[in-house]
Amino acid sequence: SDSLVVNNFVAGTTTVTPGATPDSGVIASPDGATSFLGIEAVTINAVAGADTLTMLGTQGNDTMALQRLGGGDRVWVNDRAVVTFTAFETVTLNGRFGDDKINVHPIGLVTVAAINAIGGDPTASDEVVVNGTAATEAISFVPTAPDAALVAVGAAPVVSIATSELV
């Protein structure tokens, strides 16, 4: 399969925007923008510092997931190129439009200290699932607005949820 590796040299926010086809998109970082086509796997390496990885959904219904799997921190958006990342302290999953479902597995992520899950519009049908493990874990759920909450699972990064109607 075709893959793309992007190495950031400047700290800041890197945003992955989906393209017109599942194998396309744009990666915008403080270093500039990289468009891709025909790619099944993306790796983005940040530098030490305050780095944020923002994954955007499409204009339609999306299924997004964040998890450490196979030795790498990964994000999936629908059937699009899987994004493996390193050295990002914050990860934001932004469903944008449509009825979105965001699955977060915060336990085991490396270097991630904060996770944001944003359902987006419309504000009547988005869902965020925060997963634990089979072990006994302390779970904290703190509503912060009618469509927002903070969820902590053990010592894993806190998941900040916004514009989601189901948790």
- Going by pLDDT thresholds of 50, 70 and 90, the confidence category of residue 4 is very high
In this prediction, residue 20 carries a pLDDT of 93
* Residue-level pLDDT at 165: 81
**Strand, coil or helix: what is 32?**
strand
Q: Are strands 148-153 and 63-69 parallel, antiparallel or unpaired?
A: unpaired
The encoded tokens of residue 81 equal: 């190129």
Give pLDDT tens digits for 40-84.
999 999 997 789 999 999 989 999 999 999 999 999 999 999 999
Residues in the chain: 167
Tokens (6 digits) for 78: 């629908």
pLDDT in tens, 119-159: 888 777 889 999 988 888 899 999 999 889 999 999 999 99
Q: What is the pTM of this model?
A: 0.94
What local confidence, expressed as pLDDT, does residue 122 receive? Answer: 73
**Alpha-carbon span 167 to 98, nearest angstrom:** 17
Residue 114 Cα distances to 24, 51, 63, 157, 162, angstroms: 27, 11, 20, 5, 14
